[in-house]
Structure 1
Amino acid sequence: MTNEAQLSIGDLLRTAADDAVPVVGGIADASLGAPTPCAEYDVRALIDHLFSVVVNFQVLAAKGTPDFSGTPDLVADPGWRELFAAETGKLVEAWSAPGAEEGTTGAMGLPARTVGCMVLLDLTVHAWDLARATGRAFEPDPSVVAGLAGEVEGMAPTARRMGVFGDAVELPGDATAFERLLATTGRDPRARWTAPGGPSPVDPAP
């Protein structure tokens, strides 16, 4: 039997996309200015950032050179929800192509599977960020969490030095695997989050 940790990046991204795309598609225009758990981004800016990641990591899957010099204003397009879904589908197909996770890719010459895990992580944790910011719960598929766990632990020291991850958050012994993944990135999954305009604080999912 295939171990969850051995699933291809393409398969993991397809599963992650099935969970993340509805979160993004369900964001109301009235919520675009709301803050998110990523302090530097409001909802609109985080959607634009995630869209940029989705597009540029398609290029990385093909061993090309992405352009992160600017962030597109996706939300300015009236059909931004559908466009995000379409480009996320292209991301899945790019990483499902033969040879996508073989060899190295990116300016740092990292193993392609590690780079694939980077976009898998962004799609997963930013879906959680956006869900939390807009008053919803989010729990990814366990196979995605299992596929990310070892890679995220390995990349964490470098990611913290680069300011991509915050300091790890300590959690109690009953924390779930996804909560521990979030904590490794510097997020506190047990913190109460009040969605602006919402009727009450949003508690983390049990």
Structure 2
Amino acid sequence: MADRVPLDFDPPVRRIRALLFGVTDAHLTAPTPCPDWSVGDLLDHLMSLCWAFTQAAQKKTDGVTASPPPPASAANLSPHWRSRLPVVLEDLSTAWKQPTAWEGTAQAGGVTMPAAAMGSVAINELVMHGWDLARATGQEYAADPRILEHLIEFLSQGPAEGTPGLFGPVIDTDDEATLLDHAVALAGRNPRWRPAPR
């Protein structure tokens, strides 16, 4: 069914699920490429965004989807995140396999937009935060080139100074930049980011 919808969520979902095996308890307080976020904060955000974008795909609107999400915080991370996060990731991927998810409008985090654009935002969140998690925990990261090409086109439409709350200012890259580096830079991240030695 994935070939009947614009984007397949399975590749970034599988990648994040694989990365989770390399996340130790010691990593939870480590910094990430997201300013002021620890790995624990990032995992809490992933839990929240999976739920929100699943609701968006299913066209569910209520008082929760109509409001901005709470700030990401490791203090709110479920103690069962290792078993829960893979499940909500799969729920997200399954929801966006339905052609109706891409039709009309969708609502998440207090924002309503065309459903196709919402799908692009959702898959961008998965790819970027997958990259964040890999970098923060010293793991390799790869993304589907077709998704990266779509994200580069999507992100190139945004302002170079970034979008507060979503993307930082675009980072310059050279002609040798990979598709992944280019997409990461357009999202306001430094492709060369590495955690400081501990």
- Asked if these proteins are the same fold (TM beyond 0.5), I'd say yes
What do the CA deviations read for 1:28-82 (whole angstroms, capped 9, x no partner)? 01110001110121000011011100111110111223254435856442x3122
SS in 2 for 1:110: strand
Tell me the residue number matched to 2:83. Answer: 82
What do the CA deviations read for 1:63-118 (whole angstroms, capped 9, x no partner)? 223254435856442x3122101111000111112311011112543110110111
Contact 1:61 1:95 in 2 (8 A): yes
SS in 2 for 1:109: strand
- Kindly, what percent of the aligned residue pairs are identical? 31
Question: 1:49 is matched by which residue type in structure 2?
Answer: H
Match of 1:110 among 110, 113, 116: 113
SS in 2 for 1:128: helix
Distance (whole Å) between structure 2 residues aligned to residue 180 and residue 18 of structure 1: 22
User: 2:171 matched to 1:173?
Assistant: no
Distance (whole Å) between structure 2 residues aligned to residue 82 and residue 98 of structure 1: 28
Q: Offset at 1:163?
A: 3.7
User: 2:32 matched to 1:36?
Assistant: yes
Distance (whole Å) between structure 1 residues aligned to residue 85 and residue 21 of structure 2: 8
Q: Offset at 1:196?
A: 4.8
**In terms of mean alpha carbon deviation, does 81-90 or 141-150 score higher?**
141-150
Q: Report the CA distance shift for 1:108/1:74 in structure 2 as closer, same or farther (over 3 A).
A: closer
Match of 1:60 among 26, 33, 56: 56
What do the CA deviations read for 1:102-159 (whole angstroms, capped 9, x no partner)? 11112543110110111101111111111111112212121221232222222x2299
TM-score normalised by structure 1 residue count: 0.82
Tell me the residue number matched to 1:8. Answer: 5
Question: 2:166 is matched by which residue type in structure 1?
Answer: V
Contact 1:145 1:177 in 2 (8 A): yes
Count of matched residue positions in the alignment of Structure 1 and Structure 2: 188
Contact 2:54 2:95 in 1 (8 A): yes
Runs (5+) with no aligned partner, structure 2:
none
Contact 2:22 2:137 in 1 (8 A): no
Structure-to-structure mapping, 1:109-148, within 5 angstroms: 109-148=112-151
Runs (5+) with no aligned partner, structure 1:
1-5, 198-206
TM-score normalised by structure 2 residue count: 0.85
Distance (whole Å) between structure 2 residues aligned to residue 22 and residue 128 of structure 1: 12
Tell me the residue number matched to 1:202. Answer: none
Runs of 4+ in 1 over 4 A off after TM superposition: 71-74
